[in-house]
Copies of this chain bind each other. A is one copy, B any other.
Amino acid sequence: MIIELEENAPTEAKNNLHIRLQHMGFTVQSAGHTRLALVKGVDSFVRPADFQHLPHVSKVHSLKIRYKLASRACRNEDTIIDIKGVKIGGAELFVCGGPCSIESEQQLEACAVTIKTAGAQALRGGAFKPRTSPYEFQGMGEQGLKLLQQCGERHGLITISEVMDPSQVELVAHYIDILQVGSRNMQNFHLLKELGKMGKPVLLKRGFSATYQDLLMAAEYILSEGNPHVMLCERGIRTFETHTRNTLDLNAVPVLKELSHLPVIIDPSHGTGLRSLVTPMARAAVAAGAHGIIIETHPEPDRSISDAQQTLSFDAFRQLMHEVSVLHHAMRQEI
């Protein structure tokens, strides 16, 4: 249920109402400047009329849709996430680059230099790797997280790394700026709740056969625990097509922006699985209106321990940056 206050309602009034509703036993979330949301399935047993008379309340509407805090109905303004001055979800194009797996300090350092000079804002790298096979490289662990943090600080890049299990959340959050949930974990509800309880932003990857609603419900798990800093990431879905590793679904960009106020990020590296498709699909993502892109790059792509086939060389990464910048600039100027 969404409780809308009068435009000119003082912040104090909103705070008082917030507390009052909590005393009435509800879980309350602030939803934009003049809205409060009562969550945890109250819609089933509470009537909007019960709240109509409260001070400074203008409208009360119950939500039909299953996701509430993630919806435009609940919050109309775009959510803009500010991390050390990097704004995600606004007019700026957010670009994150880096290797699939952190392999060594040299490797990370080389990536950071390239990414920074090319104009990107974030460095990614996997320390814990979810691998389909138990016999494959499982990542450098905490040592990798430390390297990523140091490298990010040296170059003024914010950092992104994946967290695979609730027990890792505190550890990863200690070193890293944005915690990534991989597509295989999109419905790992214990992990989502844990991430909802900590303060850092989350990059939530769409499961490879999750519907848009599934993705928004997963985001709702994080939001409903009190963490409003969620980014939605499309990374390719599973279809009958076998030529590409996945089918990058760019419909997700305008659809998710219509349904939700959360930032939408595209991962064309996993989304296609083929090096030659990454740059054209990155251009397409920006033209579709994505708030950001996340790209795999490596000093020697063919030696990459994982995802070699979809990893860009540094030259290719620089060329990609040039092309997406041209399009993003044209969009801002003339569209």
Contact = CB atoms under 8 A, between A and B. Distances in A.
Please state the number of chain copies in the assembly. 4
Interface in A235-260: 237-244, 247-251, 253-255, 258
Given A167-B167, A213-B243, A285-B284, A131 B277 contact: no
Contacts of A334: 326
Nearest to A239: B239
A281 interface: yes
Contacts of A54: none
Contacts of A243: 211-213, 255
A247 B251 contact: yes
Contacts of A66: 132-133, 135
A255 B244 CA distance: 9
Contact of A242 (B167, B211, B244, B248): B211
A189 B208 contact: no
A150 B266 CA distance: 45
B41 A135 contact: yes
A86 B67 CA distance: 43
Nearest to A40: B135
A92 B188 CA distance: 35
A330 B335 contact: no
A276 B241 CA distance: 25
A297 interface: no
B189 A188 contact: no
Contact of A327 (B276, B277, B287): B287
Interface stretch (A73-81, A104-112, A140-148, A216-224): A216-224
Interface in A179-213: 184-185, 187-190, 193, 208-209, 211-213
Contacts of A329: 330
B284 A287 contact: yes
A281 B255 contact: no
24 contacts: A39-B135, A66-B132, A67-B133, A68-B135, A131-B189, A134-B217, A134-B220, A134-B225, A165-B190, A167-B190, A188-B188, A211-B242, A247-B251, A251-B277, A253-B284, A280-B287, A284-B287, A287-B287, A322-B335, A323-B335, A327-B327, A327-B330, A327-B335, A330-B330
Given A133-B217, A165-B190, A327-B330, 12 more contacts: A41-B133, A66-B135, A130-B189, A134-B189, A134-B224, A188-B188, A208-B209, A212-B241, A237-B240, A244-B255, A326-B331, A326-B334
The 5 closest A-B pairs by CB, nearest first: A287-B287, A41-B135, A209-B209, A330-B330, A284-B288
